[in-house]
Copies of this chain bind each other. A is one copy, B any other.
Amino acid sequence: MDDKVIMTDVTGRDGFQMEKDWIATEDKINVINEIIAAGIPRIEATSFVSPKAVPQMRDAREVIKGINRESVEVIALVPNVKGAELALEAGVDEVNYVLSISETHNQKNVRKTVGESIEGVKDIQKLMDSSKITVSLATAFGCPFEGLYEVDKILGNIETLTAAGLSRFTIADTTGMANPVQMTEFISTIKKHYPQHYFGLHLHNTRGMGLANIYAAYQAGMRHFDAALGGIGGCPFAPGASGNVSLEDVVHMFEFMGVPVDGELPKLLEAALNMEKLLGRTLPGQVMKSGQADKTHIA
């Protein structure tokens, strides 16, 4: 198994969607371009969703247009076929189609049953090759309305989606409910059942276990991870949701563990500090406060 870790930055999407105050399109683009300049290879930049549901994402098209795309794969979240059409028009490389394992959360998030959401992806497959569609399975480890899940629940959904010709999935712990033992079981089981599929992992640090879960998932064979600069973000339709694992903290951990990972830490830390100024509040990221583990002070 290749040791290398591939990071997908979700600051522009999962990060900004939780911000109540409007962030100017130019500022969004600047943050994302700083992350690209720091060497992160995959960027989930925005969502093509209803501007009524998530006003902060109403400039999706302009954001995609403004970012420096030379060296990166650009992804946008889409909740339905209309969003996928808009994302294609904007010229994204890949769409992230989101559905929840939880019936309750899927209703809150996209106002459909899980079955309807699974049917919905088939319309998107008519628009583009399935290799350009990643399906995010939200509330994969548990749901804030329904409680913790066993792995069988997600396996059933992956089976149905696999039968429909899909092979790229992001496993999402939407409100940070997973622990390292559950993580190990889920990732091992899922990867054993579908060794040829692409799997990514999307974690929130809601209960402080974000990096512990990343370490457990890495041990279980996971190599693709989502994260957001400064640890911002969360789902507006999940009670108790809080920030993503912090991009620069995840890159920092892997780098000091000796695991190959793209992303220049000094540039990421600078980008996080710049975004902290932009947002005007202290962000959850830790390394942006402390400096890298090998930073030394004068005695």
Q: Is the CB of B257 within 8 A of A208?
A: no
Measured between beta carbons, the chain B residues less than 8 angstroms from A291 are 240
State whether the Cβ of A128 lies closer than 8 Å to any Cβ in chain B.
no
B211 with A208: CB separation less than 8 A: yes
Tell me, yes or no, whether A20 is within 8 Å of chain B by CB. no
User: Could you mark each residue 257-299 of chain A with 1 if its beta carbon is under 8 Å from any beta carbon of chain B, else 0?
Assistant: 1100000000000000000000000000111011101111111
Please tell me the number of chain A residues within 8 Å of chain B, measured between CB atoms. Answer: 51
B211:A286 contact, CB within 8 angstroms = no
Q: Which of A169-195 contact B (CB under 8 A)?
A: 175-182
- For residue A205, which residues in chain B have a CB less than 8 angstroms away from its CB? 208, 286
When distances are taken between beta carbons in the complex, the residues of chain B under 8 Å from A177 are 293-294
Q: How far is the CA of A147 from the CA of B287 in the complex (A)?
A: 16
Tell whether A144 is near chain B: CB-to-CB under 8 Å: yes
Interface residue A256 (Cβ < 8 Å from any Cβ of B): yes
The answer to the question of A118 belonging to the interface, with a C-beta cut-off of 8 Å to chain B, is no
Residues of B within 8 A of A208 (CB): 205, 210-211, 246, 249, 252-253, 285-287
With A205-B286, A286-B206 known as contacts, the answer to whether A253 contacts B179 (CB < 8 A) is: yes
- Scoring A175, A252, A295 by chain B CB atoms within 10 A of each residue's CB, the highest score goes to A295
Contact partners of A142 in chain B: CB under 8 A: 293-294
* A212 on the B face (CB < 8 A): yes
Q: Kindly provide the distance from the CB of A101 to the nearest chain B CB, expressed in whole angstroms.
A: 15
Q: Which of A209, A210, A257, A297 has the most CB of B within 10 A?
A: A209
A65 interface contact, C-beta 8 A: no
Q: Cβ of A198 < 8 Å from any Cβ of B? A: no
Q: Is A216 close to B, CB under 8 A?
A: yes
Q: A232 to chain B: closest CB distance in Å?
A: 14
Across the interface, which residues of B come within 8 angstroms of A60, CB to CB?
A: none
The 8 closest A-B pairs by CB, nearest first: A208-B286, A211-B212, A181-B257, A239-B297, A179-B256, A212-B212, A208-B249, A177-B293
